[in-house]
Amino acid sequence: MEIESICCIGAGYVGGPTMAIIAEKCPHIKVTVVDLNKDRIAAWNHEDVSQIPIYEPGLSAIVAKARGRNLFFSTEVDKAIHEADMVFISVNTPTKTYGLGKGMAADLKYIELCARQIASVSTTDKIIVEKSTLPVRTAEAIKNILHNTGNGVKFEILSNPEFLAEGTAVTDLLNPDRVLIGGDTDAEGQMAVKALVDIYANWVPKERILTTNLWSSELSKLTANAFLAQRVSSINAMSELCEKTGADVNEVARAIGMDSRIGSKFLKASVGFGGSCFQKDILNLVYIAKSYGLNEVADYWEQVIIMNDHQKRRFATSIVSTLYNTVSGKKIAFLGWAFKKDTNDTRESAAIYVADYLLNEQANLAIFDPQVSEMQILSDLDYLESRSTDANRKGISVSEDVYENCKGAHAIAVLTEWDEFKTYDWQKIYENMQKPAFVFDGRNLLDGEELQKIGFVFQSIGTGK
């Protein structure tokens, strides 16, 4: 089956970049990204391509090249589904906040709504591709909905999980470690698998395109994120032990990272992992394990989340204890709000939870991030519902100038590893702060010895300095 038209439901952090790359690499295929959020679609269609809603290095140039040629962004969902040969489902699958599985299971209501909408408007056979991160055997539910429409349309379901790291999404898409495609093992299922393989083969070497059954593909995504998050929590657990024993966690990480059996990636001690994937996917894995009665398996993976939450609290309490056990009325400057550098995504960012703790201690927070807006910062804090909206606005200020942001502060907390933070005139920053001036580096980003020469009292995760 040759694909001529693709529809992607969901114009977020996965759907937008993925479809932009497919459109750029496959100019013979019409790619339409649809979303009910009119403001988001308007941002994707903004005349100034630098104003697209997702910040990823290199993404705006790719969108500019393909948009209007064979890449389109629209709110006409039914029309795009009707015209497509292949439909990607790339909608949000948040952790449930209600009912059975609350706090752990994935909320699949948006997936179900997509399936029902596809079923209701389709008049020709289609390949449906799960792009959202989903719990294992979700495809079974989608099949049940699509195959019982009674209109004679045939659907093949594929699982094609994303393995993007925000901040490097364009590089990850252009040069992936692997592309994973899961499908049914019968003839029709394998024809659908081949159709998607042929799309990726326009730029991905065939040996990097891995095909599996549906269930293996769905579970592989959760497993990959669980393993990566486990490494972060493992090194963070060791960082606390390093502080107590006088060891340097950076030196420990370098030593064990040179072991070829371990490797060096995801061994950087920090204030904790954030983002839309790690915590959500591990909690989902915990729920699945519990649902099968595998309580020891569930407890094992849940400990990764417990350690991550502990690390965020530990960083916040370290600020309070170092500042003479009170931050009430003191100005604490935050450098960074996004959960990692090179993205404007703030979902589950450690900065949110550190800020929440310090606001409860009546600190005044001054926040600077080169890509995150004041509206988003306030929205993140309001979502926690720890305080009233008015209290959040009284407790924080947001600046677009880092030097103004740090002026008069008692301490600086580095919460995102933006490279530009290393290039600032730290002497100038120090001269305009309260004395003694503290820097708490939650990302092990800055040179502590250089900052101490200037006069800062420096402390970073894992070193105890």
242 included as an active-site residue: no
In angstroms, rounded to a whole number, what is the distance separating the alpha carbons of residues 63 and 306?
A: 39
In angstroms, rounded to a whole number, what is the distance separating the alpha carbons of residues 158 and 183?
A: 5
Give the chain's radius of gyration (CA, Å): 24
Cα separations (Å) of 455 from 351, 402, 460?
Answer: 25, 19, 16
Q: Choose among 318, 270, 141, 284: nearest CA to 214.
A: 141
Residue of 7, 26, 242, 277 with catalytic role? 277
- Neighbour-count burial for 291-327, b at 16+ CB within 10 Å, e otherwise: eeeeeeebeebbebbebbeebbebbbebbbeebeeeb
In angstroms, rounded to a whole number, what is the distance separating the alpha carbons of residues 345 and 445?
A: 20
Q: Where are the beta strands (DSSP E) in 309-393?
A: 331-335, 364-368
In angstroms, rounded to a whole number, what is the distance separating the alpha carbons of residues 220 and 159?
A: 10
Q: Which two tokens stand for residue 301?
A: 């993976």
Task: Fill in the DSSP letter of residue 416.
Answer: S
Main-chain phi, psi angles of 64, to 5 degrees: -60, -35
- Beta carbons within 10 angstroms of residue 57's beta carbon: 14
Q: Which residues lie closer than 8 Å to 21 by C-beta, 6 or more apart?
A: 62, 170, 173, 174
Q: Which residues lie closer than 8 Å to 437 by C-beta, 6 or more apart?
A: 409, 410, 411, 412, 430, 455, 456, 457
Q: Which amino acid is at 156?
A: E
Count Cα atoms within 13 angstroms, Cβ side, for 170.
Answer: 15
Q: Which residues pair with 73 in a beta bridge?
A: 33
Main-chain phi, psi angles of 301, to 5 degrees: -75, -30
Q: Choose among 144, 91, 136: nearest CA to 114.
A: 91
Largest CA distance in the chain: 75
| Residues forming the active site | 277
